[in-house]
Chains A and B, each alone.
Chain A
Amino acid sequence: MISFYLNGKSQSISADPKMPILWILRDVLNFTGTKYGCGAGLCGACTVLLDGNPIRSCITPISFAEGKQITTVEGLEKENSDLLDNWQKENVPQCGFCQSGQLVTAAAFLQNNTNPGDDEIEIAMSGNICRCGTYSRIKKAIKETIKGRG
């Protein structure tokens, strides 16, 4: 049995401890908001928070989550509703597939950085690929959120 918290709720599952968090979320718990993009930690589509830190869930075994908090895109609303609102206001997504990873990464970054410069935003977001090319809008939504949080 592996026990952890998923978006604040406790979960206990029996699974291969080596199975990456991504597939536990998607195929065992049917939390499909977190996406598979590369399976190698290269694209950021699978980003979730583990105790508040962004991790690549496609290469992080579920055993690492024992006793910890996993936050996925489905759990962002509570503390990041302004970020989601700005994302919608800027109409950021095109196909949308990478966006949950982008949002989770942005939420973690904003938690630790209250007044970042453009360069810092770009570096923080550089691990997340968007094939549609929505980068300029992502940046704008992040900056609007920073402004709003004052």
Chain B
Amino acid sequence: MKEIENISRRKFVKTLGKYSTVLILAVHLPSKVVFSKNKNTPDVFNPNLFVFLYPDGNCELVVTRSEMGQGVRTSLSSIIADEMDADWSYVKVIQAEGNPKYGNQNTDGSRSVRTLFMPLREIGASVREMLIEAAAIKWGIPVSSCIAEKHYVYQKGTSEKIFYGDLVEPASKITPPKKIRLKKPKDFNYIGKALKSVDVKEITNGTATFGLDIRLPGMQYAVIARPPVTYGSVIRYDKQESEKVKGVSDIFEIPRIKGPFGPLGGIAVVADTTWTAMEAIKKLKTDWKAGPNGTYDTDKFMETLTKRVLNSAKVVKQVGNTKQAFQGATKIIKSTFRLPHLAHVSMETPNTVAIVTKDTCTIWSPTQAPQRVRKDAAKYLGIPENNVTVHVTLLGGGFGRKSQVDFALEAVIISKKTGKPVQVVWTRENDIRHDYYHTISAQHLEASIDEKGNTTGWLHRLAFPSISSIFRPGTEYAAPWELASGATNLPFNIPNIQVENAKAEAFVRIGWLRSVCNIFQGFAINVFADELSYAAKYDPLEYRLKLIGPDRKINFGNQSFNLNTSRLKNVLKIAAKNIEWGRSLPKGYGMGLAVHYSFLSYVAAVVLVKVEQNKITVEEISMAVDCGQTINTDTIKAQMEGSAIFGMSLAFYGKISVKNGVVQQNNFNNFLLTRMPQSPKVNVQIVENHEAPTGIGEPGVPVIAPAIVNAIYAVTGKRYRSLPLSDHQLTF
């Protein structure tokens, strides 16, 4: 698929005048977008929306996606810099405002590099071609006699060179090339190498600006008391005591806005400092109406979901005849898996600054979805989108939570009311109690094994509230993409497969959490496959390779990409080899493995654990990842290391429980996370190839928990089919 093409340049040049050197690019992203130029003066060469080159050589590159630790500001800018043969030391990254002119800016689904790799290469390459042409004209030689390298254009075979900065004016008169030549991978300077984060210095000296760090003259701080039960409401409130707190300026009710990303409503306290607002809100006396979600009890609901997956349900995939396979089996294995709701708990709680005037709105938000913020703010205020400016700050973690814009709209609502700049700050308690939670799930798997140890039939039945429920309240069944997180895209060579989906209502807001439905599907499939190995009397690694079967590319229906089983097996073999799978281990030690395909990437993990009575220590994790063409190898490594810790947190502790509609956890003392003493050695091997680049932020997560559970089984013979492990009286 060619992702970018030049279109009707002449038409645009005509309309923009003599100095216009417009690069019009149509990018085939979900919505077709035309990239047009901004401005062009002799002081800057700005041939497209992404590149600003100045006479001193400084080069500003625009990044349109949000940075939340996944390294996107570095990786996306390095792609442009590489193709334009820029010297990295001249590059400064500019964070794009939320604006549809940039194409899709939603930073989610581990797809920033995946979707922008080719468009950004072409943008960089077109700039390089223009600079070369400008130099060639200056020298009066053919373009073919020139070559660009690290911020200079050279005359081939001589030491004659011109600095990029000296080409700003002449390049501004060059028309963009009709045909763009891309580099060969062997000529990449930055792509596929390890670059440090462009923000590392500011982060380590404390000057980096996260959403919570925005400070404006006259800015106030707001904290909100929201209904304890999802979609509950205020019956009455008494603000007398709160108003007495010195520094409090306003206390008022804000409405719930219906819709997938609407604020929950509640009572807002506006004050001169965050702490004042936090203190004042404690003195508020509010009667809440629970509403229909007031009976939600996760323990009871888990029982309901479990019952549902033990009975036949809606068939969503059928290959061969599972019933027949089960009838002719030597052995039938059955297991049921249960995973709880999870919260995102990014270290930076949700927050946003807004200034609303009569007909404009300016927002600073740590958001994964700046265009959604812009659109919803404009809609709420009843002003044109063009009057809303959304600045994207650094995100102190996102993990999917900051794709929702409820917290940004709260700031808009409050600033509109007060007429002053305001920063809405979520307390940690607010964050954990009013999240868009990872779903709760029950899964039942059954498989038949014949006398030779082959798995002949596979049944996977799932029940979990769908993310669709925030868009369409009342949704009871999963969306196809949710089921294709392992269940309906099972890469096993089994002749009879059936997948069924049982109904599950949503009683809290369900959202995307890093790797989403791959968490529970990857868990169940990897643990169950391990169980089958033992039932078939095979080594788990050998059996897993047998289950995946021969090399082949599988297309699961309406998808433009194939799952390549040889790449899947390869990462598993590498991860196993690097930790010496099969070696003899001291008593109390054991290994477990998992391999999963998600976000188009292939990731395997083999975990070495030590078990002493009830204490589990993860000693070492060996990971291997194949994400196609690498962009920043250090980022890939970091994302795998981080995924290991994220996966351990959900394996050990992660659980949001709800009673009478109220979330029972509220801070780090009861929603625990992995800390340094538990942090194992993580070894990551990256498979190098030139396949299309695929996701990296999320696909490392799903393999960790099942590999740990399988390793514990290898030591103890105990199989834990529900998480977190702390519910099984284990310590870490």
- Enumerate chain A interface residues (CB-CB to B < 8 A): 16, 19-20, 22-23, 26-28, 30, 32-40, 42-43, 45, 72-74, 76-77, 84, 87-88, 91-100, 103, 121-123, 125-139
Is B397 located at the chain interface by the 8 A CB criterion? Answer: yes
Return B249 CB to nearest CB of chain A, in Å.
14
Return B288 CB to nearest CB of chain A, in Å.
22
Q: Is the CB of B668 within 8 A of A99?
A: no
Q: With A95-B396, A135-B645 given, is the CB distance from A40 to B69 under 8 Å? A: no
Is B32 located at the chain interface by the 8 A CB criterion? Answer: no
Q: Which of A33, A91, A133 has its CB near the most chain B CB atoms (within 10 A)?
A: A133
Q: Is the CB of A97 within 8 A of B638?
A: no
Give complex CA distance A99, B274 in Å: 21
Given A122-B676, A133-B679, 20 additional A-B pairs, CB 8 A: A37-B349, A37-B428, A38-B428, A43-B668, A74-B207, A77-B205, A84-B205, A87-B204, A88-B200, A94-B71, A95-B68, A95-B395, A96-B210, A96-B396, A97-B210, A121-B676, A131-B345, A132-B642, A134-B641, A139-B676
Q: Is the CB of B634 within 8 A of A91?
A: yes
Give complex CA distance A113, B199 in Å: 30
B194 to A, closest residue via Cβ: A91
Return A8 CB to nearest CB of chain B, in Å.
15
Give complex CA distance A123, B679 in Å: 12
Q: Is the CB of B275 within 8 A of A35?
A: no
A75 to B, closest residue via Cβ: B206
Inter-chain contact total with CB atoms closer than 8 Å = 179
Is B682 located at the chain interface by the 8 A CB criterion? Answer: yes
Q: Is the CB of A135 within 8 A of B275?
A: no
Q: Which of B210, B221, B677 has its CB near the most chain A CB atoms (within 10 A)?
A: B677
Sample of 25 A–B contacts (CB below 8 Å): A20-B275, A32-B213, A33-B207, A36-B212, A37-B347, A40-B668, A42-B667, A76-B206, A88-B204, A91-B196, A91-B200, A95-B347, A95-B397, A96-B199, A128-B676, A129-B675, A131-B399, A132-B645, A133-B643, A133-B645, A134-B641, A135-B675, A135-B676, A136-B679, A139-B679
Return B108 CB to nearest CB of chain A, in Å.
15
Give complex CA distance A42, B677 in Å: 15
10 pairs of A and B residues whose beta carbons are closest in the complex: A33-B206, A133-B645, A97-B396, A95-B69, A94-B69, A96-B203, A73-B206, A135-B679, A133-B642, A32-B213
Q: Is the CB of A98 within 8 A of B347?
A: yes
Give complex CA distance A102, B517 in Å: 32
Q: Name the A residues within 8 Å of B470 (CB-CB).
A: none
- Main SS of the interface on chain B? loop
B residues 186-237 touching A (CB-CB < 8 Å)? 196-197, 199-201, 203-210, 212-213, 215, 221
Q: Name the B residues within 8 Å of A72 (CB-CB).
A: 206
Give complex CA distance A51, B511 in Å: 44
Return B396 CB to nearest CB of chain A, in Å.
3
A132 touches which of B69, B208, B215, B675 (Cβ 8 Å): B69
A31 to B, closest residue via Cβ: B206
Q: How many of chain B's residues touch chain A, expressed as a range?
A: 35 or more
Q: Name the B residues within 8 Å of A134 (CB-CB).
A: 638, 641-642
- Enumerate chain B interface residues (CB-CB to A < 8 A): 67-71, 196-197, 199-201, 203-210, 212-213, 215, 221, 246, 272-275, 278, 345-349, 394-399, 425, 427-428, 634, 638-639, 641-646, 667-669, 673-677, 679, 681-682
B397 touches which of A23, A126, A131 (Cβ 8 Å): A131
A141 to B, closest residue via Cβ: B204
Return B20 CB to nearest CB of chain A, in Å.
39
Q: Is the CB of B204 within 8 A of A133?
A: no
Give complex CA distance A42, B215 in Å: 26
- Main SS of the interface on chain A? loop
Q: Is the CB of A100 within 8 A of B668?
A: no
Return A28 CB to nearest CB of chain B, in Å.
7
Q: Name the B residues within 8 Å of A96 (CB-CB).
A: 69, 199, 203, 208, 210, 394, 396
Q: Name the B residues within 8 Å of A45 (CB-CB).
A: 347
Give complex CA distance A129, B674 in Å: 8
Q: Name the B residues within 8 Å of A129 (CB-CB).
A: 347, 668, 673, 675
Give complex CA distance A131, B428 in Å: 14
Q: Name the B residues within 8 Å of A87 (CB-CB).
A: 200, 204
Q: Is the CB of A136 within 8 A of B203?
A: no
Return A149 CB to nearest CB of chain B, in Å.
18
Q: Is the CB of B275 within 8 A of A23?
A: yes
Q: Is the CB of B676 within 8 A of A97?
A: no
Q: With A36-B349, A95-B69, A100-B206 given, is the CB distance from A88 to B196 under 8 Å? A: yes
Q: Name the B residues within 8 Å of A94 (CB-CB).
A: 69-71, 638-639, 642
Return B677 CB to nearest CB of chain A, in Å.
4
Give complex CA distance A126, B674 in Å: 9
Q: Name the B residues within 8 Å of A22 (CB-CB).
A: 275
Give complex CA distance A74, B215 in Å: 17
Return A26 CB to nearest CB of chain B, in Å.
7
A136 touches which of B204, B215, B641, B673 (Cβ 8 Å): B641
A36 to B, closest residue via Cβ: B212
Give complex CA distance A125, B678 in Å: 11
Q: Is the CB of B676 within 8 A of A131?
A: no
Q: Name the B residues within 8 Å of A77 (CB-CB).
A: 205
Q: Which of A32, A77, A100, A121 has its CB near the most chain B CB atoms (within 10 A)?
A: A32
Q: Name the A residues within 8 Å of B398 (CB-CB).
A: 95
Give complex CA distance A102, B16 in Å: 52
B68 to A, closest residue via Cβ: A95
